[in-house]
Chains A and B, each alone.
Chain A
Amino acid sequence: MTSVSMTVNGKSVTADVAPNTLLVQFIRENLRLTGTHVGCDTSQCGACTVHVNGDSVKSCTMLAVQADGAEVTTIEGLANGADLHPMQEAFKENHGLQCGFCTPGMIMSAVDLVKRNPNPSEETIRKELEGNICRCTGYHNIVKSVKQASENMGG
């Protein structure tokens, strides 16, 4: 067991974990933050996407111990109390989700995408979301949501 400490959604956490614990397992099973989802075994689907030190990463392809000392944000950490993050608001307004399974990862990726591209074109949005698979929406309304959010986030 190795001791690991990190800040998750603004709160300090410390735990002893087996080194082969994935960050997504730590988030879901130790911290009971089940908004982050596991959708595949080969690091393709992106449902596990969280932010580590501000950058989007696939938490299924990272060990919890690699996040020692890091700031981690999960989907649960986006809203400000009862106020949804503009990206969450945009997904809600534009029917950017159907079953919701891919949505937390999609939103986390989208927030990072807009940070790096404050005024993204449709083409850029589609390209930057290639690490997130959605089976329900056909991506049409996801693209709409990200575009609207980028405008509301000051792009």
Chain B
Amino acid sequence: MYSFEYERPKGISEAVGAVGEDDKFLAGGQSFLPTLKLRLAQVDKLVDLGSIAELKGITVSGNEVSIGAMTTHATVASSADVKSSIPALAHLAAHIGDAQVRNRGTIGGSIANNDPAADYPSALVALGATVHTNNRTIAAEDFFVDLFETALEEGELITKVTFPIAEKAGYAKFPNPASRFALVGVFVAKTASGVRVAVTGAGPSVFRQGDMEAALDSNFSPDAVKGIKTDASGLNSDIHASAEYRAHLISVMASRAVAAAS
């Protein structure tokens, strides 16, 4: 890694004040440290969010689950609150990376990075979540812009993500056999305002599958989406999976997500 300075502030405003132009926040580090190790990125200063208590924690109130940005995947996966209100979200978190990664990786770090193969973006978009920063709130579907690109501005800090509790939700993931990232992941949510189907892993960034949403709106069953195809052009292609194969897997995973929805 190139060298950098390091600070560990105790509060949000201190953190926001500490981060300058060529600096970055450090959350769990499970994506960013590998990037720094391979010298694919370089920073002047890392501002470690690990000591900011207000950024951690899960609360449920009314019809909403609130997850602090620095909450680890392991915590979300094992949270009784999440398991009872949005079980699919706990299921998704339980399958991110591996056990060691889940003990450090955070929801805030994951969505700020917007890796095309990350799991969380599909959950946020399907559930219609809201990203809260130190400055404003951003709706999930406005948050994920493109490959490794979000709507966050320079120095803006995610504080928490709020999820409306869905009627039913399910997540099914086909992992890349080597890296275990999502080759294709589909999150399906049935909410008061209709069904949403969000796909991660297959394209440069998370996207909604409108045809499947329409089909599920009238018939929320696995068979309703099994035969619905996704256009392969624009989907990712690499040595592990062609675009055509990913397109096919979207149908399969969507169907399984619906079958698993609770």
Contacts and interface: CB of A to CB of B under 8 A. Distances in A.
The answer to whether any beta carbons of A and B sit under 8 Å apart in the complex is yes
B238 interface: no
Given A20-B1, A63-B26, A131-B97, 8 more contacts: A41-B38, A42-B34, A44-B179, A56-B99, A61-B30, A63-B29, A65-B6, A109-B100
B8 A68 contact: yes
B3 interface: yes
Contacts of B8: 65, 68
Interface string B88-106: 0000000001111101100
Given A19-B3, A43-B34, A112 B101 contact: no
Contact of A62 (B33, B46, B78): B33
Contact of B33 (A44, A55, A63, A116): A63
B48 A66 contact: yes
B100 A56 contact: yes
A4 to B, nearest CB: 10
Contacts of B231: none
Nearest to A17: B6
A57 interface: yes
Interface of A: 2, 18-20, 22, 41-44, 46, 49, 52, 55-58, 60-63, 65-66, 68, 109, 112-113, 116, 128, 130-131
B37 interface: yes
Contacts of A58: 100-101, 104
Given A55-B103, A131-B99, A41 B4 contact: no
Interface of B: 1-6, 8, 26, 29-30, 33-34, 36-38, 46, 48, 50, 74, 78, 97-101, 103-104, 179-180
Nearest to B33: A61
Nearest to A112: B99
A19 B6 contact: yes
A112 B101 CA distance: 13
B173 to A, nearest CB: 13
Nearest to B104: A57
B100 A20 contact: no
Contact of A18 (B3, B29, B37, B101): B3
B34 A113 contact: no
A52 B7 CA distance: 20
Contacts of A46: 98, 100
B50 A66 contact: yes
